[in-house]
Amino acid sequence: MPVSEHRYHRRVQFAETDMAGVVHFSYFLRYMEEAEHALWREAGLSIASPGSNIGFPRVAVSIEYHAPLYFEDEFDVHVRIKAISRRSIRYESVLTKGDTKVATGTITAVCVQNTPAPMRAVDLPTEVTAKLAAFPAPSA
């Protein structure tokens, strides 16, 4: 069965905080990407396979912040694949600390062929589409 979601657990590191002791806003995208990569590993894939000329650059990112994270806080990133098209994947993430929603966000990545230059969009490899699936839409 294809993987469509993953829950990634993490702890805030000191270097990720600012002078006020709050996680710097830029780290939230990194947390979302770490969860994305963990989802791929759970599916038996790697987002950057050695020797591959396929890449997944981001073409759209959105993050909304709801509550701060501090050094040593433990939190979860629940990532799910919201949509898969012929050439792109859109992820939706919810970061929580216990029952508190910390942030929500989306990432859209496009499959590209890196070589030969210039980089160009290509169809997702069948291995990827066979192992990943969009999260089913809620029934009405």
Tokens of 2: 């294809």
pLDDT for the residue numbered 2:
83
Instruction: Specify the 3-state DSSP secondary structure of 52.
Output: coil
- What is the distance between the alpha carbons of residues 104 and 32, in angstroms, rounded to a whole number? 9
- What is the distance between the alpha carbons of residues 7 and 59, in angstroms, rounded to a whole number? 23
Q: Is the pLDDT of residue 138 over 80?
A: no
pLDDT for the residue numbered 110:
98
- With beta carbons less than 8 A apart as the criterion, state whether 76 and 8 touch: yes
pTM for the full model? Answer: 0.92
- What is the distance between the alpha carbons of residues 107 and 7, in angstroms, rounded to a whole number? 16
pLDDT for the residue numbered 136:
74
What confidence tens digit (pLDDT) does each residue in 30-62 have? Answer: 999 999 999 999 999 999 988 899 999 999 999
Tokens of 78: 């629940």
pLDDT for the residue numbered 96:
98
Domain 5-131 superfamily per CATH: Hotdog Thioesterase (3.10.129.10)
Phi-psi region of 26 (alpha: psi -120 to 50; beta: other; left: phi over 0): alpha
Average pLDDT of every residue of the chain = 94
pLDDT for the residue numbered 140:
53
